[in-house]
């Protein structure tokens, strides 16, 4: 009987290890897709192919999340954004204190950048050429950080 009890625990431990293994590897894959959305490996044909096919989120689509801060959370390909956005609005958004709302956080981020004369977000050193692309993006009309949003 003790052997059966031990076997049950061993199988449970094997299952827990499998779940942990899968979660960690899926998480690593998500971060690779996210890094590609920020411009890492921008010259890679494989990355461009995956982004054009919709299997990975494109930089333009991911930029929407950084502009809005309250939607477009999915970092792999964005297919689940409608569901995740609805869950965020339903379960999370109304529970945020006023100082933590996306609109206020965006204004705080812009004010801190202006006050500290920060040229780029903290991750600018991770992507070669990011600082130059950020300057170009801020000077273009596509940038959400270059101009205040209307209605906020």
How many of the other CB atoms lie within 10 Å of CB of 145? 17
pTM for this entry = 0.57
User: Among all chains, which residue has been given the structure tokens 């096919």?
Assistant: 53
pLDDT tens string, the chain, 152 residues long: the values are 566 666 667 788 888 888 899 999 888 888 888 889 888 888 889 999 999 998 998 888 888 877 777 788 888 888 888 998 899 888 888 887 777 777 787 787 777 777 775 555 555 455 556 556 656 555 554 455 544 444 44
Coil, strand, or helix at residue 81?
Answer: helix
Indicate the helix (H) or strand (E) that contains 84: helix 81-87
Phi, psi of 20 (to 5 degrees): -60, -45
Boundaries of every domain in the chain? 2-139
């Amino acid at each position: 009987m003790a052997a059966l009890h031990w076997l049950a625990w061993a199988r449970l431990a094997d299952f827990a290890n499998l779940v942990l293994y899968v979660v960690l590897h899926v998480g690593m894959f998500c971060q690779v897709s996210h890094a590609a959305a920020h411009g890492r490996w921008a010259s890679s044909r494989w990355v461009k192919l995956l982004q054009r096919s919709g299997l990975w989120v494109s930089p333009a689509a991911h930029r929407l999340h950084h502009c809005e801060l309250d939607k477009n959370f999915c970092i792999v390909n964005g297919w689940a954004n409608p569901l995740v956005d609805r869950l965020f609005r339903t379960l999370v958004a109304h529970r945020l204190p006023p100082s933590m709302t996306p609109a206020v956080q965006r204004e705080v981020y812009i004010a801190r950048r202006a006050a500290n004369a920060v040229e780029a977000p903290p991750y600018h050193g991770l992507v070669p050429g990011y600082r130059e692309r950020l300057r170009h993006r801020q000077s273009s009309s596509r940038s959400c950080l270059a101009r205040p949003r209307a209605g906020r």
